[in-house]
Amino acid sequence: MKKYCLALDLKDDEISINEYEKYHQQVWPGIVASLHKAGIQQMEIYRVASRLFMIMETGDDFNFDEKEKSDAANRVVQEWEQLMWKYQQALPGSKPGEKWRLMKKIFDLKEQSEA
């Protein structure tokens, strides 16, 4: 199993943030199916203020490039992404159109304890 952590910002507007959270209480079935199909076994999203943090657990064969290709060919995923972008904004330093940014792990208590 692999674990990835990603970050993204929301537009700093309370009404928009509430709408975004409401969508995530009832994610479209086609989106959930596409996540499973890609090999994503577990996903959690946390928020503080307008910053989002995602923890994603996948099978060992998960590949971001393959997921991106699959998403590009999936009409439901494209519709969801377009809707979500209405609430999201790129992190500082992001490339044009770049949404979720992969975070670098800098500390692991388990690894420190074993050293």
pTM of the model: 0.91
Q: For each of the chain's 115 residues, which pLDDT tens digit applies?
A: 999 999 999 999 999 999 999 999 999 999 999 999 999 999 999 999 999 999 999 999 999 999 999 999 999 999 999 999 999 999 999 999 899 999 999 999 999 988 7
Q: For the chain, give the DSSP string.
A: -EEEEEEEEE-S-HHHHHHHHHHHHS--HHHHHHHHHTTEEEEEEEEETTEEEEEEEE-TT--HHHHHHHHHT-HHHHHHHHHHHTTEEPPTTPPTT--SEEPPP---HHHHHH-
Residue extents of the structural domains in the chain: 2-114
- Return the CATH number of 2-114, one of 3.30.420.10, 3.40.50.300, 3.90.780.10, 3.30.70.1090: 3.30.70.1090
